[in-house]
Structure 1
């Protein structure tokens, strides 16, 4: 039995979290949940944005499933997601994007995984504002060690999963020093895995290639800001943020999450689509070594997505969150 920290989040978070826990219960997944929360709701109730109890749970269990969290706006709070990533060195943001039969998009045959460096770059929090001159300096800190870690993680993943190519997206023609660090780190990692093709592309060309011929890509690795942008772009190729999984992985901890927002405008109305969080939970099961039950859940979800009338409104169906959940359970 695996003890996992469960963070329901805000807005639609509790609804889609319940959907996932109901499906896990029906499939008799060997997971025991330890529920703790963070974000706007927690702050309103207790005055704590990230409670100490949550941090202790994460440090004990080492694995978590997290719904969408709202960081209060305009009160000087730092992003909860960024805080957790940096506190626990969750340096890999892993985002698969794969074509799903039943979800109609402009593209077919897409099966790529993006590795975004998750703790450095323009998210390092190194900003200075000179009021006299009216100048803001935001420093994109990129380290040799951080670059080596994310590049090797991308190659190691490709090796484990039988992937054939790793593509680095960078801007070394302009951001020369940081770009060169990433290129060298990938070249170094590629020497360890010589059977995997390595290529690099400048970020603007990468964006064009992703929307013109996305099926050419396999594993993509890049820096924090570029990864933030590309991961949403890749999600858009296969149906949007509501259908893709996400994970923040370090050497000692992993937090799996729905990458979309908390959608407070539809909270409590039974309209929320739990697919993204369920796919993140399936990723979590693979991480825990529970491959058989993970594949079983994946098949039940895919079989449901084939029937549009059984899906939620954002996928063209009429089902409520609970009805969609039940359709998945029925297919187990």
Structure 2
């Protein structure tokens, strides 16, 4: 047990399988002895039903006050419905950096072993600013926005992340051969920042070639930094290299607040059936624990996760096993001791 000072953290249990995997993660964290006061809020569909809006102001106020939040998946409907809560949180809280470590776990069947990549995604602009309009019936345009300020900021974050984690190389992903002004600006900023980190190798790769190289030889990469849209696509591709979105963590980081989240969907088709795998949210919580200075507890959880997967006796259905969410959770807690 790791008895520490109490922390106050905002909690968004999400919808679909969100509440189930959130409950599992909270039990595991409690088993480490870390003391956390959770401020729980509804967001997304549940919030609309209760409050008439997907992201009540109280959530933002809580995260701003606590500085840290843990968020389970929230459904975003395709082509209709309310705006993505994820995007709204990033904009409202200035969460400019999306950090997606992608690492192999022994016991998880995947196409590769020993994958250890870090995807750094700019979180606030590019095509995801949501600036769209219909020019004339049947013709819609979406604007891609790239700024020097945001590009310098994310490049600096990528190199600092590399240095802090003992990484040796940062690769900037782009399409500047076609988007000469927007992606050209992004590359100029990466090159400018790279000069301040002579201890870290810097190179560049066109996004479509990067996708191919990740499939053919992912071990050639270390830290990859890219604009918003490319990061959304390639981070999911990288997750596929190690077993899927169900086993990779995610964090959205800003100057004044951080939101740690599972990056997979809310899977409403299996909600309430005890089939959900809490690993992605659990690993996101591990990142959160490290962030708040509870590294011994984070290390204990990571060790337990690796033991459970390596033994393969208490895995959920998506990982080829027969364990329920509750059984998987109980096994992790037993390993923590």
- Does the TM-score normalized on the shorter chain lie above 0.5? yes
The corresponding residue for 2:333 is: 329
Q: 1:75 deviation in Å?
A: 5.2
Verify the 8 A CA contact 1:308 1:315 in the aligned structure 2.
no
1:172 partner SS: coil
1:24 is matched with which residue? 29
CA deviations on 1:304-329 (whole Å, 9 max, x unpaired) are 11122211000111110010000000
Give the Cα–Cα distance (whole angstroms) in 2 for the partners of residues 325 and 10 of structure 1: 19
| 1:6-45 map, 5 Å | 6-45=11-50
Aligned to 1:258: 262
Question: If the length of structure 2 is used for normalisation, what is the TM-score?
Answer: 0.96
Q: Distance in 2 between matches of 1:215 and 1:137?
A: 38
Query: Aligned residue for 2:89?
Result: 84
From 165, 169, 191, the counterpart of 1:187: 191
Q: 2:252 corresponds to which residue? A: 248
1:161 aligns with 2:165: yes
- Offset from partner CA, 1:168-224 (integer Å, 9 cap, x none): 110000000111111111112111211000000001110110000001111000011
Contact 2:127/2:229 (<8 A) preserved: yes
Q: Give 1:129's match in structure 2, choosing from 130, 134, 151.
A: 134
The TM-score, its normalising length taken from structure 1, stands at 0.97
2:201 aligned to which of 192, 197, 201: 197
Contact 1:40/1:72 (8 A) holds in 2: no
Alignment size in residue pairs: 331
- CA distance in 2 between partners of 1:285 and 1:78 (Å): 29
- Contiguous gaps of at least 5 residues in structure 1: none
Displacement after TM superposition at 1:8 (Å): 0.1
Please name the residue that 2:58 is paired with.
53
Give the 5 Å matches for 1:141-152. Answer: 141-152=145-156
Q: Could you tell me which residue of structure 1 aligns to residue 3 of structure 2?
A: none
Is residue 2:296 matched to residue 1:292?
yes
**How far off its partner does 1:72 sit?**
5.2
Q: CA RMSD in A?
A: 1.1
Residue 308 and residue 48 in structure 1: after superposition, are their counterparts in 2 closer, same or farther (change >3 A)? same
> Which runs of no fewer than 5 residues in structure 2 stay unpaired?
1-5
SS in 1 for 2:108: coil
Deviation for aligned residue 1:2: 1.4
CA distance in 2, matches of 1:115, 1:30: 30
Q: Which residue of 1 aligns with 2:177?
A: 173
